[in-house]
C-alpha cells in the first residue's frame, strides 16, 4: 500500500496544514469553530450520500481532509495560551507596574553567565487567579537558597516582555519563546523571593527529585564531572550543565544530535528492556505483561528525560512499534510515523515549530525512504563490511534529508559527519547499555564501580574522539547563506531526484529537471533582490560602535579600533553578512561625517568634535560625548537623533528628554534595537 493511499496520511497532512494556517493567520477562534461545525455537518451529509451512491466517494474523502484541517486549527487555538483570557499577557499593566506574582517552578534551564534560569507556571497575579508560563532569572551572586522543582514562590516584580532581536538577522529568541507559550521573563534576586511552605508535588516534582537523586549518587561515587554532564545528556537528555566548548565540538563534528535523547536512544532502551524480559514466556498473558512493562519503561524514561519534543516523539513512535509487535503484525514504519505525529500534535501542536522535532522526523523519514536505495548500491558479503556500510548509508540518508533544514537554521555543514557516526554509534551502544543500567541502580542508591567506571571511560573516549574530529576545521563549512525560498526549492529538488532514482521514468526525469529550474530561479531571485538593496545600519553593540553600509552584496564596515581588530570573530557582523548573502569589502575607522542616498549623517564620539557647517539629517551619538544637546540643536537642527549602546544609559535618558522637548525623534538602539536607513 502506498503511504498516501493510507487514509490517516491524508488526515495527518490536513491536520498539520491546519496547525500551520492557525499559527500564521492568527485566525479568529469563533470563525474557525463555526467553519468546523459546518464542515462536520458536510462530512455527515457526504458520508450518507456516498453510501447511497448519490455522489462519488471522493467528495467524502475531500470533506474529511477539510475537517482534519479545521481540527488542526482548533487544536492550535485551544492549546495556545494567548487565547486564554486568564493568561497573564492580557493584564493591561503587567509590563508596566510591579505586581505580586505567585508562581510554581516547573523546569530548570541552562544557566546564563549571570543568572540561574527556570521555567515557572503563573498561579496568581496579586489576588487574581492567572495562568501562563514565564522564565524566572535569579541572579547567581544573590543565591541563598537551593530552589527545587515544585517550589511555590512569591515575588513582587515587573514582568519584562520578550524583546525582538536588537540586531539584524539575529536569532529571534522572543519568537522562540512565544512558540513555547512563554511571553515574558522575570529578573530578581534571592532576597526578593518568598518561598511558600507547600510544594506542588506534581509529576514534574517527582521526576526532578529522581533525576537529582541519580546525579547526587553518581557525584558521590566520584564520577568525573565533565563525563557526568555528557552522560546525563546522552541518557537523560539533561544538557543544562554541559560546557559550551563540548557542545561546540559536538556541533563541529556533526554529532550534536546525540546530546538530545531521540529515536536512537529510545531504540537502544527498547532493545535493552526487551532483552531483559526474554525469560518471560511468550504466552498470551506473558506477551501482554511484556508489552505493559515496555510501555511503562518507555513512558517513565520520557518523564525522567523531561518530555522534550524529541523524547515524546521517540517514545510515542516506539510505543506503537511495541504494540505492533505484540499484536504479531508487521509494522508499517510510515504509518507508525504518521500516527506518532498525529498523537503528539493533538496534545502539543507547538512541537511542530520546534527545530529538534522537525529535524528528527525528517531524518527518520529519509532513513526509511532513502537508506534502502543507498544500500542497494553495494551489497557487501562480509558481515563487518556490511555493518560499516549500513552505518554509513544510514548516516548519509539522515544527513542528506536534514541538510537543507540544518543549513537554514545553523548556516554550517560538518564535512566529517560520516566519520563521526561510523566511530560513535558502536561506542554509543555501549554507553547506552551501561548508562541505563548505572542510572537505574543509582536511582536506588547503588552505583557499582564495575559498571560506573567503564561508563565514565567510554564517555571520556567519546569526548576525545569528538574533539579530534571537530579540531579538523578545514572540513567544517561555516557561514552558509540560505533563505526560506532556497529551503523549499532544495527539498522539492531533493524529493524529485530521489523519486527518479528509485524508479527512473521519463516523466520523473522531467519533474526533476523542473525542480532544478525552480531551485535556480530561487537562487537568481535571491541574488537579484540582494543586488537591488541598499542600507545603512547602526548596530546595537554593548560598549562599542559598529556601523555598516551595504550596496548589494558588498558591505563597508565603520567601527572603532577594538572592533576593527576582531572583525572576523564578531558574531553580530558575521550573522548580518550571512543573512544578507554579503561579504565584507572595506574596513574603515569611523569618521565624523557620512553620506547615504543623499542624506547627511554626523557621528559624534567621546571627543565631542563635529563640523558646524553641515546641517545633518541624522545625528548619531556614540561613546558618551559630553555635549549640551540643546545648544547643539541650535547649530545642527537634525531630523532624528540615534544613540547606540556604547553610550551610558544615564546620558541616553537625558538626551531622550531633550529630544522630546524639542520634538525631535530619538532612537536608542538599547531600547528599540538597531537603526536602519534604506
In 3D space, the residue among 314, 190, 301 whose CA is nearest the CA of residue 257 turns out to be: 314
What would the pLDDT profile of 117-131 be if each residue is shown by its tens digit? 999 999 999 888 998
* DSSP-derived 3-state class of residue 644: coil
Mark out the alpha helices in 414-483 (DSSP H runs). 417-443, 449-470
For residue 663, the surrounding DSSP H or E stretch is none
Contact 228, 457 (CB under 8 A): no
320 and 284 in a single domain? The answer is yes
Among 79, 96, 130, the domain boundary falls at 79
What mean pLDDT do residues 487-503 have? Answer: 94
The verdict on 29 and 72 lying in the same domain is yes
CA-to-CA distance for 542 and 668, rounded, in angstroms? 12
Give the rounded distance of the alpha carbon of 152 from its chain centre. 28
Is the pLDDT score of 402 beyond 50? yes
Residues 472 and 401 in one domain: yes
The model's pLDDT over 409-418, given as tens digits with 9 standing for 90+, comes to 989 888 888 7
Distance CA 145, CA 150 (A): 14
148, 222: one domain: no
Average the pLDDT over 452-473 and give the result. Answer: 89
Residue 488: closest CA among 457, 519, 467, 510: 519
- Which residue in the block uniquely carries the three cell numbers 557542545? 247
Q: Are residues 598 and 614 in the same domain?
A: yes
State how far the Cα of 407 lies from the Cα of 476, in Å rounded to an integer.
12
**Largest CA-CA distance found in the chain, in angstroms, rounded:** 96
> Is residue 287 located within the same domain as residue 269?
yes
- Judging by beta carbons within 10 Å of its beta carbon (0-12, 13-18, 19+), is residue 361 exposed, middle or buried? buried
Q: Return the pLDDT at 21.
A: 92
CA distance 581 to 378: 39
Residue 471 φ then ψ, to 5°: -70, -15
Residue 600: its pLDDT value, please? 93
pLDDT surpasses 80 at 566: no
Co-location of 418 and 468 in the same domain: yes
Residue with cell 560546557: 243
Give the pLDDT band (50/70/90) at residue 328: low
**pLDDT at residue 134 greater than cutoff 90:** yes
667-670 contact pairs (CB < 8 A, 24+): 667/640, 667/641, 667/642, 667/643, 668/642, 668/643, 669/166, 669/538, 669/539, 669/540, 669/642, 669/643, 669/644, 669/645, 670/166, 670/540, 670/643, 670/644, 670/645
272 with 395, same domain: the answer is: yes
Average pLDDT over residues 213-242: 85
Whether residue 427 has pLDDT greater than 60: yes
Residue length of the chain: 678
Question: What string of DSSP letters covers 190-222?
Answer: GGGEEEEEEE--SHHHHHHHHHHHHHHHHHHTT
Domain end among 531, 552, 570 = 531
- Asked if 302 and 340 touch (Cβ cutoff 8 Å), the reply is no
In the listed set 498, 515, 531, which residue is the last one of a domain according to the structure? 531
Q: Which pLDDT band, with edges at 50, 70 and 90, does 6 fall under? A: low
Average pLDDT of the chain, as a whole number? 87
pLDDT at 203: 83
pLDDT at site 1: 43
In the predicted structure, residue 326 carries a pLDDT above the cut 80: no
**Predicted model pTM:** 0.86
Number of domains in the chain: 5
Residue 521 is part of which domain span?
484-531
Find the CATH number of the domain harbouring 193.
2.40.50
- pLDDT bin (cut points 50, 70, 90) of residue 185 is very high
222 and 363, same domain (yes or no): yes
Mean predicted confidence (pLDDT) in 478-503: 93
Give the whole-number percent of the chain exceeding pLDDT 90.
32
Q: Both 46 and 151 in a single domain? A: no
For residues 416 and 467, membership in a common domain is answered with yes
Pairing state between β 583-589 and 534-538: unpaired
Same domain? For 286 and 328 the reply is yes
Distances (CA, A) of 299 to 212, 264, 295, 315, 539: 19, 16, 6, 7, 47
H-run or E-run covering 677? strand 675-677
pLDDT in tens, 39-64: 999 989 988 888 877 788 888 888 98
pLDDT at 143: 66
Q: What is the DSSP string of 544-577?
A: B-EEEEEETTEEEEEE-HHHHTTGGG-HHHHHHH
Amino acid at each position: 500500500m502506498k503511504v498516501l493511499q493510507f487514509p490517516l496520511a491524508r488526515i495527518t497532512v490536513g491536520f498539520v496544514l491546519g496547525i500551520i494556517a492557525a499559527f500564521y493567520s492568527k485566525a479568529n477562534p469563533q470563525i474557525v469553530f463555526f467553519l468546523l461545525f459546518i464542515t462536520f455537518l458536510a462530512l455527515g451529509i457526504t458520508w450518507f450520500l456516498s453510501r447511497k451512491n448519490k455522489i462519488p466517494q471522493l467528495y467524502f474523502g475531500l470533506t474529511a481532509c477539510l475537517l482534519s484541517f479545521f481540527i488542526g486549527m482548533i487544536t492550535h487555538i485551544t492549546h495556545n495560551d494567548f487565547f486564554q483570557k486568564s493568561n497573564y499577557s492580557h493584564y493591561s499593566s503587567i509590563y508596566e507596574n510591579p505586581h505580586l506574582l505567585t508562581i510554581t517552578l516547573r523546569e530548570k534551564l541552562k544557566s546564563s553567565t549571570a543568572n540561574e534560569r527556570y521555567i515557572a507556571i503563573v498561579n496568581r497575579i496579586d489576588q487574581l487567579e492567572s495562568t501562563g508560563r514565564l522564565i524566572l532569572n535569579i541572579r547567581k551572586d544573590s543565591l541563598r537558597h537551593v530552589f527545587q522543582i515544585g517550589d511555590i514562590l512569591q515575588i513582587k516584580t515587573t514582568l519584562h516582555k520578550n524583546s525582538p532581536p536588537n540586531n539584524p538577522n539575529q536569532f529571534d529568541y522572543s519568537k522562540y519563546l512565544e512558540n513555547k507559550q512563554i511571553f515574558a521573563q522575570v529578573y530578581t534576586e534571592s532576597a526578593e523571593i518568598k518561598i511558600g511552605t507547600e510544594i506542588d508535588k506534581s509529576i514534574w516534582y517527582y521526576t526532578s527529585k529522581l533525576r537529582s537523586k541519580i546525579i547526587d549518587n553518581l557525584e558521590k561515587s566520584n564520577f568525573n564531572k565533565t563525563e557526568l554532564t555528557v552522560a546525563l545528556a546522552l541518557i537523560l537528555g539533561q544538557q543544562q550543565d554541559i560546557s559550551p566548548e563540548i557542545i561546540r565540538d559536538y556541533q563541529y563534528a556533526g554529532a550534536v544530535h546525540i546530546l538530545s535523547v531521540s529515536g536512537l536512544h529510545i531504540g537502544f532502551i527498547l532493545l535493552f528492556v526487551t532483552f531483559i524480559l526474554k525469560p518471560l514466556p511468550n504466552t498470551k498473558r506473558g506477551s501482554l505483561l511484556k508489552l505493559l512493562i515496555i510501555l511503562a519503561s518507555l513512558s517513565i524514561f520520557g518523564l525522567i528525560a523531561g518530555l522534550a519534543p524529541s523524547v515524546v516523539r521517540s517514545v510515542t513512535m516506539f510505543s506503537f512499534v511495541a504494540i505492533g509487535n505484540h499484536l504479531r503484525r508487521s509494522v508499517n514504519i510510515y504509518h507508525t510515523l504518521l500516527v506518532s505525529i498525529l498523537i503528539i500534535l493533538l496534545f502539543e501542536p507547538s512541537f511542530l515549530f520546534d527545530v529538534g522535532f522537525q529535524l528528527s522526523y525528517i531524518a527518520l523519514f529519509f532513513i526509511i525512504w532513502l537508506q534502502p536505495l543507498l544500500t542497494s548500491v553495494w551489497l557487501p558479503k562480509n558481515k563487518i563490511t556490511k555493518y560499516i556500510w549500513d552505518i554509513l548509508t544510514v548516516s548519509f540518508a539522515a544527513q542528506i534529508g536534514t541538510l537543507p533544514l540544518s543549513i537554514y537554521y545553523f548556516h554550517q555543514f560538518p564535512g566529517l559527519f560520516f566519520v563521526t557516526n561510523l566511530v560513535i554509534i558502536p561506542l554509543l551502544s555501549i554507553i547506552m547499555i551501561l548508562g541505563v543500567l548505572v542510572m537505574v541502580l543509582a536511582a536506588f542508591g547503588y552505583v557499582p564501580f564495575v559498571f560506573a567506571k567503564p561508563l565514565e571511560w567510554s564517555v571520556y573516549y567519546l569526548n576525545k574522539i569528538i574533539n579530534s574530529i571537530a579540531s579538523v576545521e578545514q572540513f567544517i563549512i561555516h557561514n552558509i547563506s540560505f533563505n526560506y525560498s532556497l529551503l523549499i526549492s532544495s527539498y522539492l529538488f531533493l524529493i524529485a531526484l530521489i523519486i527518479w532514482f528509485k524508479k527512473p521514468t521519463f516523466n520523473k526525469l522531467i519533474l526533476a529537471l523542473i525542480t532544478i529550474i525552480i531551485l535556480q530561479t530561487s537562487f537568481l531571485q535571491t541574488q537579484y533582490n540582494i543586488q537591488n538593496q541598499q542600507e545603512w545600519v547602526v548596530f546595537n553593540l554593548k560598549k562599542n560602535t559598529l556601523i555598516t553600509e551595504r550596496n548589494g552584496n558588498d558591505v563597508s564596515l565603520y567601527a572603532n579600533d577594538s572592533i576593527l581588530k576582531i572583525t572576523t570573530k564578531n558574531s553580530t557582523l558575521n550573522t548580518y553578512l550571512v543573512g544578507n548573502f554579503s561579504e565584507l569589502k572595506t574596513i574603515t575607522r569611523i569618521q565624523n561625517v557620512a553620506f547615504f542616498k543623499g542624506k547627511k549623517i554626523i557621528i559624534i564620539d567621546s571627543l565631542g568634535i563635529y563640523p558646524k557647517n553641515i546641517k545633518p539629517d541624522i545625528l548619531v551619538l556614540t561613546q558618551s560625548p559630553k555635549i549640551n544637546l540643546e545648544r547643539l540643536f541650535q547649530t545642527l537642527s537634525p531630523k532624528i537623533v540615534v544613540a547606540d549602546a556604547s553610550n551610558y544609559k544615564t546620558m541616553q535618558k537625558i538626551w531622550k528628554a531633550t529630544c522630546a522637548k524639542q520634538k525631535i525623534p530619538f532612537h536608542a538602539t538599547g531600547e528599540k534595537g538597531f537603526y536602519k536607513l534604506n
